[in-house]
Amino acid sequence: MALTREEKAQTVKKFQRSELDTGSPEVQVALLTTRIKDITEHFKKHKKDHQGRRGLMTLVNQRRSLLAYLKKEDTARYAKLINDLGLRK
């Protein structure tokens, strides 16, 4: 269920703004989105995992906060990230 080291490195490399960037909002949102997708797949099989659902809501709220910050600071970066991740239809 957890991200492997290779998956995390690949996601960071795709969304980083510079070579040493691992903590920008874009990278954080991309990593959270990957984890959310994995956990969502888990819930298709385990429908009664309510504690896991609570953790999922925590991740979703954290991602929402980061997206709100990015939208407030730089709407162009926000729009590009949303488009790259396919979050909004």
The Cα 19–Cα 39 span in angstroms is 29
What pLDDT was estimated at residue 81? 96
Q: Global pTM?
A: 0.91
The domain ranges of the chain are 5-85
3-state secondary structure of 42: helix
Q: pLDDT 10s per residue in the chain (89 long)?
A: 678 999 999 999 999 999 999 999 999 999 999 999 999 999 999 999 999 999 999 999 999 999 999 999 999 999 999 999 999 86
The Cα 58–Cα 52 span in angstroms is 10
The Cα 47–Cα 6 span in angstroms is 29
The Cα 5–Cα 35 span in angstroms is 13
**What is the assigned CATH class of domain 5-85?**
mainly alpha
3-state secondary structure of 58: helix
What pLDDT was estimated at residue 3? 84
